[in-house]
Structure 1
Amino acid sequence: MNQAKRIEILKVLQADNPDPKSELEYSTPFELLIAVVLSAQATDKSVNESTRHIFPIANTPEKLLEMGPETFLDHIKKIGLFRTKTKNVMELCQTLVDKYHSQVPQEFDKLVELPGVGKKTASVVMNVAFGEPKIAVDTHVFRVANRTKYATGKTPEQVQIKMERYTPLEYRVNAHHWFILLGRYICKARAPECWRCPIKDLCEYKEKLLEKPEKKKVKQMKPGT
């Protein structure tokens, strides 16, 4: 994979989806922060189903603290790691009240110090909420970057460093979304649908399928056999 091919990949993804958006539902940086914290090892769909009940009545750190851990936990109990996430969210809210006047800090180093917020979560918030050219590497981005050979690495941190190095600034904000959506809907973990991928001619995945596989016919047993 050379830089010219990387640029072509970005151009194709941009033409296919000029203005990609996060599929998490939010209206403020605080709501986004909470949604991203909840999304670890969970689907955006399950997070949205929970936050639709939370944000209309508790969309600030103070209101979430007033809601309390038991009620909050009840709203997110269908999400993985819900007990740990409840604890982190309550501590996160208290930290925002005590240290940041209930505002989400716009500095990466301050975000990663918040309870339950790692580098990936901080990168998503910096990118989506504040428009910073960070490329967060979740499982989808990690898989697509390695499969295509756009940016290879054994850890998300290695992939993030390479992606931010190889991706020109003009594409960097949207690259995060393009790779996530590609991994979520086309470049799937177990059965990548290469035949309908917009970058199939540029991808360097050795096992890609350029034609849709035929469904295997199930042999019907005759009555009495």
Structure 2
Amino acid sequence: MVALMGGGHTIGFAHCKEFQSRLFGPKPDPSVHPKLAERLKAMCANSSSDPTMSAFLDPISAGNFDNMIFKNILNGLGVLGTDQAMASDPRTRPIVEEYAKDQVLFFRDFARAMEKTSVYQVKTGNQGDIRRRCDAFNNHPKGGKSYEKPRLIGAYKNVSRLTEDEKKAYDLEKKAYALLTMALLKEIFQPFKTHKRSKALWNVFGKRSEDSD
């Protein structure tokens, strides 16, 4: 999953609306490097009037497919919050560090991950469509996104009553769950919906990956 997330974002861009809450919100994201924040704020200053404003996901080597995205993340240069979260989560940070050090390892794992996903529930003929937007069906009746939103349970339901430490844990849980599910179509995610926490979801994904090796 880390290989796919990082590999998918080593080339490409995101519109300002996808990350501007990290810059202009009531509580700007402290994990954003100050120089990157300054640069992105300048680039997105007019995004409310021009929704096409965007930024490269890899601000250092935007035109190259390499492991720089992982080095960026470790230095607070992740443009998307979901990318940067991989460096703050203890489950994914060691993998990010390995890919940052070893480009050959990243290339190998990315190729294997792409191969696995390319043969999973493949649609043929008139099944499915080629999306105009990667995050939504072309003819979605509500224009909604194609992935299942994170669902949290237990004490996390009433956020207003959480302590500061619990709020931090809640935020990390949201980011981790979103990171694991954001690229999944609803039909793919359906069998995993009973797993409401990121740790459980991570474990079942890992088991599925081992079984498919």
Give TM-score, length-normalised by structure 1.
0.28
After TM superposition, the score normalised by the length of structure 2 is 0.29
**Which has the larger Rg?**
1
